[in-house]
Amino acid sequence: MSGAYTSIKELIQLRLAAKDIQLYNPNKVRSSLAGQYQSKLKGRGVDFAEVRVYQPGDDVRTIDWRVTARTQVPHTKLFQEERERPVFLLVEQSLPLFFGSRQDFKSVTAAQAAAAFAWASLQHGDRVGGLVFNHQQQHHEIKPRRSKKSVLQLLHWIAEMNQALSWQQTANLPSSDYFCHALAHSRQLVKPGSAVILVGNFYQLPPLAEQHLYKLSQHNDVFIVNITDPLEAQLPKPGVYAVTDGQHRLTVNSRHAPSRQRYQQQWQTQQQQLETMCQRYRMPLLQLSTTQPAISQLVEKLAGHRRRHG
């Protein structure tokens, strides 16, 4: 399908391709200093397993000093990988995403990315759930479970909200409060220690939305997936262009050089603000474009993230 809309069939078909998305770094060395869980992109968490007598080669940071003092023999703590972890997907399907100048609309790219993350998480043995929301403050929540049924429920609501998008909704378009509403509700649903993957449009966030993101990041690993389109970064070559949503038509004049420059500068400022916020709260940022299928971008960019951050 793709283009302006996606479908439940298309999102289900991403299951096979999602096997190429590696959410964990299997070579990541863990220790007791890692805490109860690590970043979603670095590796699974670790749970305490048992204590045994220290052996040559053991990491000295894992020595159990209490047992060592009591027995007068060095002992080491052993840890095992968590069997599963809640993955909560917060997926935007709003009118501001109902736009695209290349292969797909931003709303479609967001839907594809969320579906790919859901399938990949399930294949890695995690519990998958989430919240799908739109600009009318409507939402559908799915409790994280380690089941195909849970993923299918999530994909159903993504496809349903995606196909409901239309520029005829413009008259009922509220303020950006809808994003704050979704974040606030997510904070009530997400259990501490979860991996929270937010997929949508993160430009010009109101201050309250940033506060919610900060609160989420305090007790969870929050991962931002921002959907972009080339036309947002730069106006097309000087000329007069027709723009349509299939029903309405308007023209855009990009001949005015100062306007083009201001337009590009505004985009760069928004980019910098988003990157600064993510760095401040230690939230990995992934930029996906409407120019390519989301799945191919995820495979490439997640591999690059692991190479850079280990």
Residue 259 lies in domain: 8-21+84-309
Between 121 and 59, the higher pLDDT residue: 121
Residues 254 and 302 in one domain: yes
Residues 220 and 100 in one domain: yes
Phi, psi of 180 (to 5 degrees): -60, -40
User: What is the number of helices (H) and of strands (E) in the chain?
Assistant: 9, 10
CA distances from 133 to 95, 136, 215, 300 (A): 11, 8, 20, 27
Alpha helices in the chain (DSSP H): 8-17, 65-71, 106-123, 148-163, 177-189, 207-219, 230-233, 257-280, 294-309
**Domain contains 191:** yes
**Domain contains 291:** yes
Q: What is the DSSP letter of 230?
A: H
Between 31 and 198, the higher pLDDT residue: 198
Distance CA 188, CA 81 (A): 27
Residues 67 and 193 in one domain: no
Residues 59 and 183 in one domain: no
Residues 63 and 199 in one domain: no
Give the residue-averaged pLDDT of 299-310: 72
Q: What is the mean pLDDT of the chain?
A: 84
Let me know how long the chain is.
Answer: 310
Between 250 and 199, the higher pLDDT residue: 199
Q: What is the pLDDT of residues 202-255, one digit of tens each?
A: 987 889 999 999 999 999 999 999 999 998 888 878 888 776 655 566 777 778
Residues 140 and 58 in one domain: no
222: Cβ contacts below 8 Å, ≥ 6 apart: 196, 198, 213, 216, 281, 283
Distance CA 220, CA 197 (A): 10
Range name among 121-125, 147-151, 197-201 with the lowest pLDDT average: 121-125
Residues 198 and 77 in one domain: no
Is the distance from CB of 18 to CB of 26 less than 8 angstroms?
no
Give the residue-averaged pLDDT of 151-162: 98
Q: How many domains does the chain have?
A: 2
Residues 223 and 88 in one domain: yes
For the stretch 163-197, what's the b/e string if a residue is b when 16 or more beta carbons lie within 10 angstroms of its beta carbon?
A: bebeeeeeeeeeebebbbbbbebbeebbeeebbbb
Query: Residue type at 92?
Result: E
Residues 61 and 92 in one domain: no
Residues 70 and 93 in one domain: no
Residues 89 and 123 in one domain: yes
**Domain contains 26:** no
Residue at which a domain ends, from 81, 105, 128: 81
